[in-house]
Amino acid sequence: MVSHMNISPEFLPVLVLAFGALLLFLQDVLLEDVTLSRLISIALLLCTTVLSLLLIQSHSHAYIAGDSFLFDSFSQIFGVVFSLSALLVVLTDSQFLKRLSSPFEFYVLVVLATLGMYFVAASTNLIALFVAFEMSTVATYAMTLFDKNNPHSAEAAIKFFVVGALSAGIILYAISLVYLATGSIDLKPSFALISPSASRLLAIGFVLLIVGFGFKVAAVPFHLWLPDTYDGAPYATTTYLASASKVMGFAALLKIFLTMGPSVQALSHLEWRVLFAALSIVTMSVGNLAALVQTRVKRMLAYSSISQSGYILIGLALASSFSYAVLIYFVLSYAVSKAGSFIVADYFETKFGASTFDDYAWLGRVAPLSAFSMSIFLLSLAGIPPLSVFVAKFFMFYAAVKAGGAWIWLAVAGVLNSALSLYYYARLIKNMYMGVANKQPREQAFQESISHVVPIAISLALTIALGLAEAPILGASQHAINSLYQQILTHP
């Protein structure tokens, strides 16, 4: 008698990634074809992106592994961000991979890291969340070290590993305190009544969770590792860290505070919303002020990534259903624009040796398509309408104003910091079109290859489209938030 195993469609994206990683391993051993590895990776990530989009519309859900993971609209909408960011990375024609004798492993690591991210967004308890997070993070350690011929890459990997190990230890200790205080590691909206001493342990554990994941999203003062890591890592890795990996950190924070936040505040009297508000203002301000004085484009983009974390943290500080939905829309908009900017910067440095602001002089004439795309990405990150990050910032600041009281200062700080960021973004754009070149400028435009144009064109189209059609994404995000809360609230 033949038994049939029913596989819930909600698991299809992770199954595709898991079997795809195995297929890439086999291809590496048997065929050793770099082009085939790249094509398989592109097909896998495109497939998971489409599957996640379809599953978001189905509004279905399913548990797995003893209810440790819940695959629902929440996990799928973050899955779209993870897969899309990874897809842009593998589509990029990275020169450093061509220099390596065995670049196959890079594609395997990207797929495995993305698989771990899916499980992070689907986690229903703190241990499952931690294991999935580290599964993805370990893969990114290896990706950071991949350019073995570059000594800066090794330095970046060591710093990244040390900070990652420290944050992992803090998170594990925080989980142990939460369990000691409540007798539970589940991500749920209510705990049993606890004693005053246990409530203090819960407050300490919760603060340590903020610290541990604060390292992951590079919130100030836990950001010091990021500029050197982004600057020293290969561009392909930096693109992935700045988009998918950072979004994973926010997915974890959002899931923790959406489910546990209100109960923790009631039991421990910890004003974690105020803590996040302070982190938000300090992070956006420090990131922008540091970016102002940078002369290298890659480091400027790294510090601007820190400032963007500050804007996103507003969504956690406000702790409303609407602000959480805006946060999801924000990380999607941010990931696309930030990935696009790093892809163009990679191309400029590889093709023209342009790594500083001064080196970008006249690139608007030499590479008009790339320069135009870079301008759009930078203007989006600065918050210029009608581009996607502007819309995300507008709704985030609107949510702060709507909350009233002292929360209005979050919107004021956000607007002032956005104006500040426009200075260094505009300075780079001005250099591309009106800068004085250090060497004789090229008079004719450089022929840009199709393999280079495709990921930039996708990022550019999404940066514009997300800004013009935000309503369905915000609606899907709102449904994902409500669905997750209801599922965890009603699940035994």
Q: Which of 65, 188, 147 is nearest to 485 (CA)?
A: 188
Evaluate whether residue 50 is within a structural domain: no
Provide the whole-model pTM: 0.93
Q: Average pLDDT per run of 10 along the chain, which is 492 residues long?
A: 58 92 85 82 94 88 81 92 94 71 81 95 92 94 82 84 93 92 77 68 88 91 90 90 94 88 70 87 96 94 95 93 94 95 91 88 87 95 94 96 90 95 94 72 59 89 94 92 77 60
User: Residue 301 contacts by C-beta under 8 Å, 6 or more apart in sequence?
Assistant: 230, 242, 338, 341, 342, 345
Q: Is residue 262 part of a domain?
A: no
**Pairwise CA distance, residues 250 & 232, whole Å:** 24
Burial classification of residue 73, based on how many CB atoms lie within 10 Å of its CB (0-12 exposed, 13-18 middle, 19 or more buried): buried
For residue 197, the model assigns a pLDDT of: 72
pLDDT at 2: 41
Determine the pLDDT at residue 257: 85
Q: Is residue 308 part of a domain?
A: yes
- Whether 61 maps to a domain, the answer reads no
Contact 248, 213 (CB under 8 A): no
Domain presence at residue 393: yes
Whether 331 maps to a domain, the answer reads yes
Residue 472: domain span: 271-492
Number of domains in the chain: 1
Residue 358 in any domain: the answer is yes
pLDDT at 4: 45
